[in-house]
Structure formats: structure tokens, C-alpha cells
Amino acid sequence: MREALSEWRPRIDEEIARLLPRTLSAGDVAEQFGSPRFEYDEAALTAALTEPVWDLLDRGGKRWRPVLFLLAAEGFGGDPESLLPYAAIPEILHTGTIIVDDVEDGATLRRGEPAVHRKYGTDVALNAGNALYFVPLKVLTDDPGGLPAETRLRAFDMLTHELNRTHLGQGTDIRWHNGERVDMTEAEYLEMCACKTGCLGRIAARLAAIVTEQDEAAEAHVADYAESLSIAFQIADDVLDVEHTLDGDGDFGKAFGNDIREGKRTLMVIHAVQAASEPAAARLREILTADEASDKDVLDAIDILQATDSVEYARERALELAADARSHLDAVAMRDEQADQLAAFTEYVVEREI
């Protein structure tokens, strides 16, 4: 899977650059947004939109959602070369969500450098992040795959539905870490992840099924594959935050104890609150709901997570979700090579170290 990610990433970035060039000319702006009635300020638009977006894209990111799209589309019999423009859609949407997410969370770092709002200002970050929810729709409008009108409508309907659901997940997450409650259920947590993280994976998988004109049953199975994969990815990401904090490893691209400082309710926290002694659970609640957490607070919280085996519990749940994802692949007719790669992907997202 690492080879597929490495192979496709430059091609995916080329497609993103077609939609959103690094430096906007008058022609670029007119092509994407329509001709001006008076006159665009291309320099201002470059500074406010494309510069911060490409700053973030150039820092890294795995591009796994567009690669998932390409593998699934090829597995369904599509030509990945001709469908490559559609692969930009989930990555641009993902980039928009993390820019806005960092503003809402008050994050300091993203991919090892200052978060976009810290570097360019909250106003620029919010405007750029929100713009990225709409930019990829131009792909469907331009119709590079020559799709039938009903197929394009099916894709628009899917994007509207899934993008709306991402805001359910983000809204739930914001409410949790802004409030005092830490006793949410595991099912509530998983649903939050299914919306916040899972919908972006579902977009990639469902879009692959739609543009290759699969039936609704196949679309539903690959959507469930991507959702379970995405939740496993999120849980594994939360585990990595703890492990890299303990290692003092700055390569992970987040600040020391980032999730705990943000008061993030993770599966590990939910399990620990239920499994810990009342004094330990009370201490964990205190840390997560504090306005600021010291380094000692972060380490105290991690001690509680480890003492309750909550880190290992979360890792096991991620493995179970990865297995569930593979079961949905087994339910669809797909070429063996791509099905095997997508199955291997479920192992990669849980076992990765960065």
C-alpha cells in the first residue's frame, strides 16, 4: 500500500493543481469561478486562498482517500487514468476540513508546522477552508469522465449527503471537548467518528462506485468498508498521539500531548473513565476539562490510560474495525489485485507509525 501511495501522490497533486493552481492568473480565476463583472485581484486571491492551501498540502499527508478512490474504481473495472481528475475531490475536501478543524480546536501544529490559522490568520484560514468544500464540485461540472447526467446527479446527491454528515461529527466533537461530559458511550463515540472521519472515506469509496456505475448494493458495501477503515484510522491516530507523546517524538507533526490538551474525547478516554477507580477517573475528567493542561497533567492522563489498558483496548477495537472493513470487500465483485490492495490498506492504517 505504501507503494501505491507513493506512486499516485504526485499525480494526485497535479490534478489538485489543475483545479487550484499555486499562483492564480486571471484566466485561472475565470475558469474556476466565472468571468468577473469588473476585475479580480489575482494576487490577493493567491495570497488568501491558494498559498495557504498549498503550504499545507506541501507539508505531507498520505493522500490515502484519493488512492482508495483510484483502487476501488479500477477494481470495479474503471480506468484510473481517465478517472484521475475525480481523485482530487476527497483530498481537497479533507484539506478544507482539517483547516477549519484546527481553527475550531485551537490547534497549534499541523504536519509539524504552525496550523494554517496560526500562520495566515483565522480569517484567511476559515475562508480558504470553507472554499475547499465547493472547489471540487467543479470536477463534476466539467465532467472529465463524460458521465451520464443521472450519474452526475447521483454523485452530487452523495456529496451533499456526506458533507452534511461531516458537520454532525464535528459538531458533536466540539460540544464534547467544550463541555464537562466525559461519560459518552462507545457507540456515541463511534458514530461521531463515522460522521467526522468516516464520511470523507465514504465519499472516496462511493464516488468510485458511482463513476463506474455500480449498483446501490455494491456502493453500500464499499461505503461501509471505507467507514470502518476511517474509524480504525482515527482510533489508530489517537493511539499514535499517546505513543509519540511518550516517546517525545516531534516527527508526528503534533504538539506534545496535543489530544489531551485539547480535551479530546477518544475511545481510550471513554474506556479509561469506565475502567478506572473513581479518584483516577475524576483526575482524568479534571485534566480534560481544564482550560490549560501542563506537561505533568498530560503525563498523568496517559498514566491513567495505560493503567486501565485503554491504549491496548483502543488498538484492539481498531483491529476489529479493520476486519469489518475487509468483510465488506468480500461482499462485492471486484478485481482480485485491487481488492487485495484495499484489504492490505486496512492493516496499514492500524499498524502505521506516522
Query: pLDDT tens digit string along 37-61?
Result: 999 999 999 999 999 999 999 999 8
Give the pLDDT confidence score for residue 354 in this predicted structure. 66
State mean pLDDT over 114-131: 98
pLDDT of 117 higher than 50: yes
Supply the CATH number for residue 339's domain: 1.10.600.10
At residue 255 the predicted structure's pLDDT band, cuts being 50, 70 and 90, is: low
One-letter amino acid for residue 11 of the chain:
R
SS3 state at 264: coil
Q: What's the pLDDT at 181?
A: 81
Task: Say whether pLDDT at 124 is over 60.
Answer: yes
List, for residues 198-254, the tens digit of each pLDDT value.
Answer: 999 999 999 999 999 999 999 999 999 999 999 999 999 999 989 888 876 544 445
Domain hosting 185: range is 2-351
How many Cβ atoms are within 10 Å of 124's Cβ, its own excluded?
Answer: 18
Higher pLDDT, 199 or 105: 199
Give percent of the chain above pLDDT 90: 83
DSSP 121-165: -HHHHHHHHHHTTTTTHHHHHH-TT---HHHHHHHHHHHHHHHHH
Highest mean pLDDT out of 249-253, 261-265, 309-313: 309-313
The domain tally of the chain equals: 1
- Rg of the chain, C-alpha, whole Å: 21
Q: What is the pTM of this model?
A: 0.92
Confidence label for 104 from pLDDT (cuts 50, 70 and 90) = very high
Quick one: pLDDT at residue 324? 97
Higher local confidence (pLDDT), 69 or 177 = 69
Q: Give the closest residue to 91 by CA, choosing from 135, 28, 47.
A: 135
**For residues 296 and 205, is the Cβ–Cβ distance under 8 A?**
no
Average pLDDT value for residue range 144-150: 95
- Most confident among 6-10, 135-139, 225-229 (mean pLDDT): 225-229
CB–CB of 199/174 below 8 Å?
A: no
SS3 59: coil
pLDDT of residue 254: 57
